[in-house]
Structure 1
Amino acid sequence: MLRLTWVQPEDLVGHELRQARQDGRDATAIEARWTAAGGHQAPPRAGASPTPTARGLRRLAAELLDELAALTSPLAPDEPTDLPAIVRRCPDWPTPPGHGHPGTGGTPAGRHRPPGPGPQERRAAPDPARLEAAWLGRAVGCLLGKPVEKLPLSAIRGLGRAAGNWPPTRYFTARGVPARLLAAHPWNRRSAGTSLAENIDGMPEDDDLDYPVLNLLLLRRHGRDFGTEDVARLWLEELPAGRTFTAERVAYRNLLDGLEPPDTARHRNPFREWIGALIRADVHGWTNPGDPGAAAAQAHRDATLTHTASGVHAAMFTAAAIATAATGDADVHTCLRAGLTVVPPRSRLARAVRHAVELATTHADFDTVVDTLHALHGPTHHWVHAVPNTALLAAALTHADGDFTGSISRAVSGGWDTDSVGATAGSIAGLLAGGPDALPEHWTAPLGNRLATSVAGCDGIGFDTLAQLTHREATRP
């Protein structure tokens, strides 16, 4: 029987109840009604419960989702989603020289963009070689994390150690791993056939690469001043629904139901603070080198199709950090500080990132950093939530001091959304490395300069071609 993941009301209630606990809404009475009616908690790993539910319980789930949405979060004043409100709360928002502090409104919905440099002021785009390293780095980090996605931290460590690959300095392998360990902790079933070292033949499809390709197409069609509605239209035209997950799938469903942004991100979407918008942020940073404010604003227009609050802040943080790395003249610590300038400082995401950086600066053993992060965030957050994953990203990059292998190794060794955090760490570290020749060959050679993707006309595209296309968009006024 077909059990469609990530959209069934009875599977969303548990996620929304957890989201309510995270953002301070009192959902005690609603949770009691759900439990008394026989409702279940959210599936811990999968996107759907294993068996169908009664029709009456599904109707109740839909009603309770709407009641939960009506509750007000006490954190909302410190964690706005609206861009002008975000900018007002960021005292160090990165405004280019010659421009005042942005964020006073007066721009059509979905198109607000803080002032950035004009065509003559814009910094030179990164060399195509640097962009190729970023694309390759993103693919390598994603590929490293794919076979261990969804596995608990103890399993990832056990599999890596059994193969003599801990912390991982090469792709995961089943060779030499005891059968009992593989039986207890099977690889991600969708990925093992293409992402274990013995199976890699080109970069397999993954949403962590599909979205950057799609956003490159977005910029080619609409330029830097695209609106959120342009993102929505592009998805409906070019993105197969079956290639969407969590918040993206809910937003896609909402579009088909006739909702428009930003309601697409809010309506019955308990995944709106998860990592999906973050994994779409790279192109916005790559095409705004030296202008983290413009990169963050561009990422905001993309993110608000599907996300709110922490989910949007994570995308903006990532875009700003990448825009700073794209200049080629900043170290990783400067990049992370730039990322924090576009996030409200009292928000959960900003606090989590600052704490993670402090941990990584304090402890020489990265496993100690990871254990501390898991003890803090693990009991309360889903493994795909933006807050713990962004904290892990910042910790990994800080601890590795920007080194490529060290960055992706630490990102993946920290568990949670391994392929997504590995991908973003690889993108930033690839930019800092400066070119494809600076990346170790044992990481890049198995990719064969070939990316599989569902984006029409791009399947099998080379990373060198993607870099040239990105460079074109980065230099377009």
Structure 2
Amino acid sequence: MLRLTWVQPEDLIGHELRQAAQDGREPSAVAARWRAAGGAEAPLTAGASPTPASSYLRLLASDLLDELADLPSTLTDDEPNGLAAIRSLCPDWPYAAGSTAADRGQSCLPQGVEGLGGTPRGEGEGGREGTPRAPGRATAPRASHPAALEAAWLGRAVGCLLGKPVEKLPLTGIRRLARATGNWPLGTYFTARGVPEDLVTRYPWNRRSATTSLAENIDGMPEDDDLNYPLLALLVLRRHGRAFTTTDVARVWLDELPAGRTFTAERVAYRNLLSGLEPPRTAHHHNPFREWIGALIRADVHGWTNPGDPAAAAEQAHRDATLTHTANGVYAAMFTAAVIAVAATGDHDVHACLRTGLTVVPPRSRLARAVRHAIRLAHEHADFDTVVDLLHDTHAGTHHWVHAVPNTALIAAALTHAGGDFTGSVCRAVSGGWDTDSNGATAGSVAGLLAGSPRALPGRWTAPLKNRLATSVAGFDGSGFDTLARLTHLEATRP
């Protein structure tokens, strides 16, 4: 029997109850009715429960999802969805083309972030006194060099590939599997060679990924949604330009993205489109995954094509993200796009990039607080395992492993702790658990840009990719990362 994942009302309700508790609604009465009727909790890792619910429970779940959507939230003022409202809460939103921070007499640091800059262990340029302030757009921002964009594409692929075989595994399992082969602290791709059978039985590799992403099996970059979505974003820009709308994103998806290649919020939004709903309602209706990581993994192209203009990158990411996400799910995409836009200039270290990312996020939002906390931990502790343990202590008990808040915090901590170093960044991001392939991909994209060239990335990471990407997005299967860099550069230089 076909059990379609991520869309069954009886599987969505448990996730929505948790989402309601996180975003300031009071779901206890609805939760009591669901449990009194015999409703189950949300599946822990899978997108569907093992057996279908009764017709009664399915109808009840659908009704309760509607009730939960109508509950008022106490966080609405601090976590709006509209771009104008978001900007109104960001006192240090990156300044417009042609102006400077000095002209306006303003710091580009968001409130509460002073002192978070600098490299904690003396790596790289800058430091608390030497790291440049977060930049805005130059009068004539230059496009990233194709070599830097190729490094970013490669970095995204490497980080994703590193995290694929351990996706969904608990932190303990990731550490034990790596230690079993002498690969801890993590420094290269995972391998099954030499891992005791009882350990693999207890912590099995990701079923769909092991055959293509363990070191002994890698033969080019296999398909993954973390690479499909940047390709789709590139298509959106090629067809509709920088002024694309959220509806344009939806049209490209319906034309080019197989429904079976969507997950969580993207699958719900896709279904909502087919049901006749239009954005932004596609992100709200029966979509408990709207603050998960899906919009973040679509943000890179918006940063790559707006070097030196973090505001434009964030605004593009907002238009993309609101097809599927709300509030902190959208902020995660905006933050990532802004970070990447600054990294794409090649003029600033990772700490300045992260500070700029925070300027486009409402400062009292859950995402901003989590990122600031993660950066602070990365500065305070020399041992990254300690940073990870503290992040898990903070978030694991309340958030799903795919939620944007803890994953964005982990990415920021990894980049900070590694000082933007490529291997250090991707390995820290993946070794922290949660959504391992997505976190590795984003960290790899940022660190690849900062490295500036494919030649600056260690060959042990890039050689197995064979400059070949597999994808179901039409026209891109088998593409080389050099080709993708050239296509991205064309969009970055297009008026």
TM range (shorter): over 0.9
1:24 aligns with 2:42: no
2:69 matched to which residue of 1?
A: 69
* Cα offsets for 1:142-197 (capped at 9, x unmatched): 00000000000000000000010012111000011111101111000000000000
Offset of residue 315 of structure 1 = 0.1
Q: 1:128 aligns with which of 138, 141, 146?
A: 146
Is contact 2:332–2:408 with CA below 8 Å preserved after alignment?
A: yes
1:113 matched to which residue of 2?
A: none
Q: 2:216 is paired with a residue of what secondary structure?
A: coil
Q: What is the count of residue pairs matched by the alignment?
A: 461
* Alignment partners' CA distance in 1, 2:92 and 2:260: 40
2:91 matched to which residue of 1?
A: 91
1:349 aligns with 2:367: yes
* Cα offsets for 1:336-355 (capped at 9, x unmatched): 00100000000000000000
2:106 matched to which residue of 1?
A: none
1:461 matched to which residue of 2?
A: 479
AA partner of residue 199 (structure 2): L
Is contact 2:265–2:324 with CA below 8 Å preserved after alignment?
A: yes
AA partner of residue 409 (structure 1): C
1:426 aligns with 2:444: yes
Provide structure 1 residue ranges, at least 5 long, that are not aligned to the other structure.
102-115
Offset of residue 96 of structure 1 = 2.2
* Percent of aligned pairs sharing the same letter: 77
AA partner of residue 176 (structure 1): G
Offset of residue 98 of structure 1 = 4.0
Is contact 2:97–2:140 with CA below 8 Å preserved after alignment?
A: no
2:47 matched to which residue of 1?
A: 47
Is contact 2:300–2:336 with CA below 8 Å preserved after alignment?
A: yes
Offset of residue 97 of structure 1 = 4.2
Offset of residue 122 of structure 1 = 3.7
1:311 matched to which residue of 2?
A: 329
* Cα offsets for 1:297-336 (capped at 9, x unmatched): 0000000000000000000000000000000011000000
1:203 matched to which residue of 2?
A: 221
* Cα offsets for 1:352-372 (capped at 9, x unmatched): 000000000000000000000
Q: 1:312 is paired with a residue of what secondary structure?
A: helix
1:218 matched to which residue of 2?
A: 236
Counterparts of residues 41-190 of structure 1 (less than 5 Å): 41-98=41-98, 121-190=139-208
2:259 matched to which residue of 1?
A: 241
Counterparts of residues 257-272 of structure 1 (less than 5 Å): 257-272=275-290
Offset of residue 99 of structure 1 = 6.2
* Alignment partners' CA distance in 1, 2:487 and 2:255: 21
AA partner of residue 54 (structure 2): A
- Runs of 4+ in structure 1 off by over 3 angstroms are 97-101
1:390 aligns with 2:423: no
Offset of residue 95 of structure 1 = 1.7
* Alignment partners' CA distance in 2, 1:229 and 1:183: 45
Q: 1:371 is paired with a residue of what secondary structure?
A: helix
* Cα offsets for 1:26-79 (capped at 9, x unmatched): 111100000000001110100000001100100000000000000111011101
TM-score by length of 1: 0.95
AA partner of residue 174 (structure 1): A
AA partner of residue 467 (structure 1): A
What's the Cα RMSD here? Answer: 1.2
Is contact 2:137–2:308 with CA below 8 Å preserved after alignment?
A: no
2:116 matched to which residue of 1?
A: none
* Alignment partners' CA distance in 2, 1:314 and 1:72: 23
Provide structure 2 residue ranges, at least 5 long, that are not aligned to the other structure.
102-135
1:4 matched to which residue of 2?
A: 4
Offset of residue 450 of structure 1 = 0.1
1:110 matched to which residue of 2?
A: none
* Alignment partners' CA distance in 2, 1:117 and 1:46: 43
* Alignment partners' CA distance in 2, 1:97 and 1:411: 33
Is contact 2:335–2:361 with CA below 8 Å preserved after alignment?
A: yes
Q: 1:412 is paired with a residue of what secondary structure?
A: helix
Offset of residue 100 of structure 1 = 11
* Alignment partners' CA distance in 2, 1:445 and 1:337: 33
Counterparts of residues 276-291 of structure 1 (less than 5 Å): 276-291=294-309
Q: 1:76 is paired with a residue of what secondary structure?
A: coil
Q: 1:380 aligns with which of 398, 401, 407?
A: 398
* Alignment partners' CA distance in 2, 1:98 and 1:151: 48
* Alignment partners' CA distance in 1, 2:140 and 2:482: 24
Offset of residue 281 of structure 1 = 0.1
AA partner of residue 356 (structure 2): A
Q: 1:414 aligns with which of 421, 424, 432?
A: 432
1:273 aligns with 2:291: yes
* Alignment partners' CA distance in 2, 1:37 and 1:122: 62
TM-score by length of 2: 0.92
